[in-house]
Amino acid sequence: MLRQGELELAANLPADRCSSEAAQAYTHWLATHHYENFNVVSWLLPKDLHQHFYNLYAYCRWADDLGDEIPDKNRALELLDWWERELDDCYNDKPSHPVFVALRQTIFAKGIPKQPFADLLKAFRQDQFVKRYQTWDAMIGYCVYSANPVGRLVLYLCGYRDEERQLLSDATCTALQLANFWQDVDRDLEKGRIYIPLDVAAAHGVSESDIVERRFSDNYVALMKDLIARTRVLFAQGAPLAKMVSGRISVDLDMFTRGGVAVLDSIEALGYDTLHKRPAVSKGKQARLLGRAFFAHLLQRIPHGESQSGGFPVSAPESVPRLSTMAPEATLTVSRSYDECHRIARAAHSNFYYAFYLLPKARRDALAALYAFMRLVDDVADEGADLAAKQRGLADWRAALDDVIIGQVTTVDGSSALDVPGKIPSGAAEVLPALVDTMHQFKMPARYLHDLISGAEMDLTVHTYPTFDRLREYCYRVAGTVGLTCTHVFGFRGPRALDLAEKLGLAFQLTNIIRDVHDDFAVGRLYIPEEDLARYGVAAQDFGRNEATLGVRELLRFEADRAWRNYEEGSELFDLIEPESRGALWLLAHTYSALLARIEQLDFAVFGERVGLSKAEKMLFIAKAKFGRLNKENILEKRDRDRRRAGGPGGQRRAG
């Protein structure tokens, strides 16, 4: 299929259906002789994985060159189709091309599915048609196919198949891809491609013609600074992966992250002019990065002060995690930080704060820290009308969180190994010391908090949900994460507890959605799935009326049934948490289920004044939680299952 001299990397290619020894010798040669910023396989990697990495690299390198080095688009597409047929033959146990003869052994030994290999080819085909990316989201969407499959393949090679590690890998691989794009602006222009998102460029006063004509300016500098900052955030998101894999592999993964950050540093050192020059990481710099990664790996193995499950070193009682871009005097001691978190929680008058009083001090402080962080993140998403400013604000919170965590776990020479530039969000200096201390004490994964920020980001751009599965993803991010973090604070036994915590979080959020459906519609949001609207013949505009229609009430009753199912399943969590925390969980579940029961009693009269519980009712619940005989049978408010009226107060209440 490949013509003589069509690709340089085919120069030493053995014949089709060659021996496995000849095929492996070729992939070894290719992996050790092709240009990259960093060696494909380092001496730290276990020897039994070396050849597998060579085989994987050969597949990726060939696919990349078929899409990138063939000048004729139609010919490139023809060759990519041929490469996919070779992939199919490999999975049918009929490999022909030497790369697949070698790769077949890796696929069989490691049980690698076909999808990541096929996804890469989607990206290379896209390169034949798409030469510009209009938006940042489109650019990230491209990375889903061009970069993320590589990381997932590496995880398969190393024996990791779980979603948590895959998502962290996705963040790192996307960041590495973006760093390469910002590094290769000059090279890509020669090929007629621009990977800089044009909406981001326009926001900094840089047009497509400015890039094509290589007009370097202060605006271009500002553009590069913005892109680099966004990429650093992604590196920070993925950095915990290196501490979730075994042995020397963690050093290699850490090295790739540090190497990618070094590329960004090189762009900055170059003065951001990637229109005319390609920054590179010197061999000496690579050696220093490897030394830092290896030293950080050794520090992690020191047993004193190390968390056994969370991966964070436990700080001394008054030590302060320091934001790398924050002046020392701006930080607080941990105890003062907890005081500020309690002040924020008290001021919010939330149902959650009443539950704090039922816990011992350490757990009470932890919930206050979590609540304060979540409240401040929500405030960014809810206040003001400037979408871009809100997105920057949430990105600042994500970067600040990563900076304070990674600054502790990767500090080698007195400074954070991954400094994240950008504005320190309001309140971060006050609440993050307590939050990180909470994460240390209760072995809380940072991904829960990242997922929560992702939920706030969804609220900025996603205003309707076509299916319940899509809504459930949102509910997990904004409420399931709350249940998971609280359960870590409560103390639990067994992985089932976390599944039940997610169900309770979903039930709480569905209750909020039902109660606030009218108000949410008024601000342009509708959280009822479109498939449910169609099922009950309800139009979105019906939620803007002054009174509830029969169809709306029946639809909300359907959503309430869904919430009750999650309440009932989630109530099993009661027996799986520490006894001293059960009163707080009982109070939360009882309060929210009572709110849903009240909404049902009012026949879903949620179009007028906001449905709620009286202060007297809440005080009664607190007394029961403190002094009553609590169990999973009485954790939920009793539901009036007989109320199925077609009319009632819901049709009479008016918006006020």
Percent of the chain with pLDDT over 90: 51
Q: What is the pLDDT of residues 300-318, one digit of tens each?
A: 433 333 332 232 222 223 3
CA distance 344 to 62: 56
378 within a domain of the structure (yes/no): no
Q: pLDDT at position 320, please?
A: 35
Domain boundary among 183, 218, 253: 218
- Would you place residue 281 in the very low, low, confident or very high pLDDT band (cuts 50, 70, 90)? low
pTM here is 0.52
In the numeric block, which tokens belong to residue 565?
């199912």
Query: Which residues 6+ apart lie within 8 Å of 231 measured at CB?
Result: 175, 178, 179, 182, 260, 264
Report the pLDDT value the prediction gives residue 350, as an integer from 0 to 100.
66
Which range among 36-45, 175-184, 276-285 has the greatest average pLDDT? 175-184
Phi-psi region of 603 (alpha: psi -120 to 50; beta: other; left: phi over 0): left
* Domain final position from 176, 199, 218: 218
267: in domain: no
Return the pLDDT at 406. Answer: 63
**What's the CATH number where 212 sits?**
1.10.600.10
Residue 377 has pLDDT above 60, yes or no: yes
For residue 102, what pLDDT is reported? 95
64 pLDDT exceeds 60? yes
**Cβ contacts of 223 within 8 Å, gap of 6 or more:** 196, 200, 201, 204, 206
391 band by pLDDT with thresholds 50, 70 and 90: confident
Summarised one tens digit per residue, pLDDT across range 354-376 is: 677 788 999 999 999 999 999 99
* Domain-located, residue 277: no
What the block records as the tokens of 206 is: 């840089």
Per-residue pLDDT tens over the stretch 569-606: 999 999 999 999 999 999 999 999 999 999 999 999 99
Is the per-residue pLDDT at 299 higher than 60? no
Q: Answer yes or no: is 126 within a domain.
A: yes
Which pLDDT score, from 0 to 100, does residue 386 have? 80
- As a whole number of angstroms, the distance between CA 416 and CA 423 comes to 17
| pLDDT at 115 > cutoff 70 | yes
| Residue-wise pLDDT tens digits, 308-356 | 223 222 222 333 333 333 434 334 578 889 999 989 988 876 656 667 7
Q: Cα(107)–Cα(93) distance, rounded to whole angstroms?
A: 10
Q: Would you state the pLDDT for residue 368?
A: 92
What is the structure's pLDDT at 578?
94
Q: Residue 452 falls within a domain, yes or no? A: no
Instruction: Tell whether the model's pLDDT for residue 209 goes beyond 90.
Output: yes
Domain that holds residue 498: 462-651
Query: How many separate domains does the chain show?
Result: 2
Give the pLDDT score at 408: 43
Distance CA 264, CA 256 (A): 13
CB atoms within 10 A of CB 15: 9
313 DSSP β-pair partners: 306
pLDDT of residue 615: 81
Note whether residue 78 is domain-resident.
yes
Q: pLDDT value at position 249?
A: 72
User: Has residue 243 been placed in a domain?
Assistant: no
User: Closest Cα to residue 172, out of 248, 259, 237?
Assistant: 237
pLDDT tens track for 418-471? 333 446 788 888 999 999 999 999 999 888 998 899 888 888 888 899 999 989
What are 405's two structure tokens?
């965590």
**Per-residue model confidence (pLDDT) at position 170:** 94
At residue 392, what is the residue type?
R
Q: Which of 182-186, 262-266, 614-618, 641-645 has the highest mean pLDDT?
A: 182-186
Supply the mean pLDDT for the chain.
82
Q: Which ranges constitute the DSSP H helices of 420-467?
A: 428-441, 446-461
Q: Is residue 401 part of a domain?
A: no
Q: Which of 170, 194, 218 is the last residue of a domain?
A: 218
